[in-house]
Chains A and B, each alone.
Chain A
């Protein structure tokens, strides 16, 4: 199962699409045979999403939906248990002035903080069920991904064992840019396997493409297909550590891939833009892009997430504006 072997790890989706004798050549032929991206058209299309008028009741719905889609994130070297506890407290009660405020989908932390997040969530922790707040952990030597596969897999297993419901893995961008698609593919397959819990269920796997390091839209499209073929449940734009992070054109492109995948197989893959989405206005543009690209079925936290930290406060301010009729200010939300 190493990159040097011709045969790739058997991922069910890839076998179905590319045939049972899954090889790196077949994978390359498929990925490089994807049509090239019309960059100008893509950017023009993305720019149009900002022109939709989302007002009053639809704005209120969009804001609540945006909150429910947030993976409230802290990924700093300086993270402490206290920081994670306060992040969880924010997730439990996003706006103390309005108990009707929905909760975000998940809190996203480094693997070693998973246990603390689970403990702080207490009964609000979803523990793999549908209701409650998930704990997502970044793994596989996040954010660079520069470590041996054994280290990456152990990183993943640790987080899953500590209770992570979702694993955000990074792909090996170096291998991808070298054209070593098989190595990237194998790592995703192995990480997916490392997400298996003792009871046989799997933690959700989000595959971070780090689009800011892939340089071209064509590469983003290829990496998206590669990640889905290898078994990713979600494709995620970025770590948030590299600029540019989640731009709207890149997110749109990834949405087009999951839409095409659904048409091909009937299977729904999630998309998670992360990094750089800090205002409610941006978030609403993304929701418009989702609805107009994949359909309203995708307006669901199971299929679309925002990786963000400051976004929540801005959405809360907009929400307060809608409920009180006056503009709110940063004094009326928590300092993160």
Chain B
């Protein structure tokens, strides 16, 4: 190769899409990958295929991160979720491109999905410091006490994300879990792993503490049973598990008294109920003084 010939073609720099666990991007412990191809069968990327041990590590990371996230002020959580929307806005083009390649959408429809997802992050960011006022209460009691009920996060939430509309579906389940301070282990749609990992990159650069969201690309049918039976998972969101044997997953979850969101009828996205489904109510008694 001589310097006199200037080549017009650059070598491709393809990206390997890895998992997102504990704030880092590790390969699958199993070393497995899945090839992603576009509508015409052209190779797009290799995506890590998570194993049960990756799921175990993800739950461990989520458990470690959860108290810190729940302990952050509601205002701060709101800022972070809004920051996710800001960073997503700046990287819109990448998401549009990935959605076009994996979901075969037109540019306009891909763009509409990304914008809807961004708006959904903003919507949830607004709820962090308001949901307690809506769902909490001061209860009348027969005695000289304040009796106050407030929603608190459930803990570690395992999620099977909706299998269509990769980015929007993922946002519609992850964001409501984060509002009150849960930590999340999510298996994104098997058909759109690229946007899931790109969203993870957005989360990693949005001041979301490492481990609060963990993304396991892979086969939901393989991973969901391990998450459903895992004793250190507090809630199971099966919104995207309609095609799996989700009754068996719910049965497995019952062993350790997990809160379960079923795929049917499910809970409508973008509602306060969706946020409150992953909370526990704490009631506090406090003496009233005449002083």
A-to-B contact residues, CB < 8 Å: 320, 325-332
Contacts and interface: CB of A to CB of B under 8 A. Distances in A.
A326 B232 contact: no
B63 A326 contact: no
25 contacts: A320-B231, A325-B229, A326-B226, A326-B229, A326-B230, A326-B231, A326-B252, A326-B255, A327-B56, A327-B226, A327-B229, A327-B231, A328-B231, A328-B232, A329-B59, A329-B63, A329-B230, A329-B231, A329-B232, A329-B233, A330-B63, A330-B232, A331-B231, A331-B232, A332-B231
Contacts of A327: 56, 59, 226, 229-232
Contacts of B56: 327
Contacts, number: 28
Interface in B188-240: 226, 229-233
Interface of B: 56, 59, 63, 226, 229-233, 252, 255
A94 to B, nearest CB: 17
Most buried by B among A320, A326, A328, A331: A326
A140 B255 CA distance: 50
A282 to B, nearest CB: 15
A179 to B, nearest CB: 46
A269 B229 CA distance: 44
A333 to B, nearest CB: 10
Closest 7 CB pairs of A and B: A329-B232, A326-B229, A329-B231, A327-B230, A328-B231, A327-B56, A332-B231
Contacts of B59: 327, 329
A331 B59 CA distance: 14
Nearest to B59: A327
Nearest to B255: A326
Nearest to B233: A329
Contacts of B226: 326-327
A325 B252 CA distance: 11
B69 to A, nearest CB: 18
Nearest to B227: A327
